[in-house]
Amino acid sequence: MLKQLGKRLLEKKLISEKQLKKALDRQRSKGGRLGQNLCDMGFLEEENLDQVFHPLPPMPQTVAESGLDLGFITDLALKHSLFLGEFGRNELMERTKLPASIIDAVLENLRKDQFVEVKGAELYARHSFRFAITEQGIRRANVLLEVCRYVGPAPVTLDVYRDMVALQTVKNILIDDQQVRQAFDHLVVNDDLLYRLGPALSSGKEIFLYGPPGNGKTSIAEAIGSLLPGTVFIPYALLVRGEIINVYDPVSHGDIISTVGEENPDQRWVEVRRPVIMAGGELSLRTLDLDFNTITKYYEAPLQVKANNGVLIIDDFGRQQIDPKQLLNRWMVPLDRRIDFMTLHTGMKFDIPFDTLVVFSTNIEPADLVDEAFLRRIRYKIKIDHPSIGEFEEIFRRLCEDHAMSFSRPVFEHLMDHYYRRLEVRFSSCHPKDLVEHIIEEASYHGHPPELSQGAIDRAWHNYFVNSSLGARFCPER
């Protein structure tokens, strides 16, 4: 990837060969990424680097440039025609996400085969023609739907997808200390944790968050996802060995960001924020492989493909439907080589990029989950421990402020002395939120404003805890 970056920068004449050599020498001696070294040495502006890693996929003007076969595009357009009934060229362009130059060739083919016919025109120009599918076209479209029921935007080829993922890789995002602190500003985390998280995030390597339950591992993992800068392009679908794989998922990828500017990008790609996908107890080996629908006759991409160029969070690791060692064995090669291998229902195999920042989050001891060999492959192991008394109080204060409730120091001391110290209960970061919510719900039911009073905190405590949950010992001077 470093050679590819250097080559692209040279091709765009953003740096000279002499500057590239100096930056590579600096990288060998001081480490870091090539792009960052170029920027630090003053050879390159960060905005120019962003342009290299965020290229607009160019709109294909010919069938050859689309990477698809004219017959394939014609069949896809005919299936669209079946559902459109009467339509114009622009409607077909919108459905297939292909330009007029290609759609005109497709419509000409459909007319020659008598699958569609001209029904009229608003003007005497070809672009104003109105078309309708014929009886012969309906029969042909129904045959095509029996083979594959995909009726969506035209797919992109696997080779083009590989290139785009490589250019947008999470390995080349630039994150500084200020950005890290800003991303975690809504959480109470100590400086030591931020100091360790920063390099981990900047590296793009796998992160293993572990520690006792209820102390913010999931919240920290989600904050990691929100930290990744910029946007990426994701295709609606891929064409692999004649099979269609649906990639874009509104649930996983969120809203589409409109591309602004004079350039006209390939509409078969959508611009979204770097994906952040979380999988919990529902994760299974099946969700990590292509999902072939026997009714629609096309595939849904697995989670790790949808998470390419973004973050994949495995929450509650060790509590999935599969043994954690099976999951890790499945990902041994992808995590190491950044390539995954998929198998079509026809038995054909192919490789696909595995370019995602994987964050494992668990409250199970790492040694009880996986062996040392696998832990060695995960670069960063970070423990999220119980909060100190100062951090616990800060969490409590923030929650009271968020809910327009006055923080009472005497009531907080009552909570400390009467419960945490006397019963020797360990602090957990989730306790303030849960206790405050008990107070709010009680106040809402009785129709008065929530108040942090001694009576309210007593009732919240007894509603929240049971005797079996008080076994952890308290350590007052952590």
Residue 475 confidence class, pLDDT cut points 50, 70, 90: very low
Same domain, 367 and 296: yes
Task: Give the total number of structural domains in the chain.
Answer: 4
Give the percent of the chain with pLDDT over 70.
92
Same domain, 207 and 336: yes
How large is the average pLDDT for residues 333-347? 91
Of 64-73, 74-83, 211-220, least confident by mean pLDDT is: 211-220
Q: What is the pTM of this model?
A: 0.83
How large is the average pLDDT for residues 83-102? 94
Same domain, 105 and 204: no
Domain annotation covers residue 220: yes
Residue 19 confidence class, pLDDT cut points 50, 70, 90: confident
Same domain, 115 and 210: no
Give the percent of the chain with pLDDT over 90.
61
Same domain, 417 and 293: no
Q: Which of 351, 383, 415 is the last residue of a domain?
A: 383
Domain annotation covers residue 472: no
Q: Which of 109, 127, 154 is the last residue of a domain?
A: 154
Same domain, 212 and 345: yes
Mean pLDDT value across the chain: 88
Domain annotation covers residue 85: yes
Q: SS3 for the chain, per residue?
A: CHHHHHHHHHHCCCCCHHHHHHHHHHHHHHCCCHHHHHHHCCCCCHHHHHHHHCCCCECCCCHHHHCCCHHHHHHHHHHHHHHHCEEEHHHHHHHHCCCHHHHHHHHHHHHHCCCEEEEEECCCCHHHEEEEECHHHHHHHHHHHHHCCCCCCCCEEHHHHHHHHHHCCHHHCCCCHHHHHHHCCCCCCCHHHHHHHHHHHHHCCCEEEECCCCCCHHHHHHHHHHHCCCEEEEECEEEECCEEEECCCHHHHCCCCCCCCCCCECCCEEEEECCEEEECCCCCHHHHCCEECCCCCCEECCHHHHCCCEEEEECCCCCCCCCHHHHHHHCHHHHHHCEEEEECCCCCEEEEECCEEEEEEECCCHHHHCCHHHHHHCCEEEECCCCCHHHHHHHHHHHHHHCCCCCCHHHHHHHHHHHHHCCCCCCCCHHHHHHHHHHHHHHHHHCCCCCCCHHHHHHHHHHHCCHHHHCCCCCCCC
Q: Which of 128, 154, 180 is the last residue of a domain?
A: 154
Q: Which domain holds residue 402?
A: 389-464
Domain annotation covers residue 251: yes
Same domain, 100 and 24: no
- Report the CATH number at residue 144: 1.10.10.10
How large is the average pLDDT for residues 361-380? 83
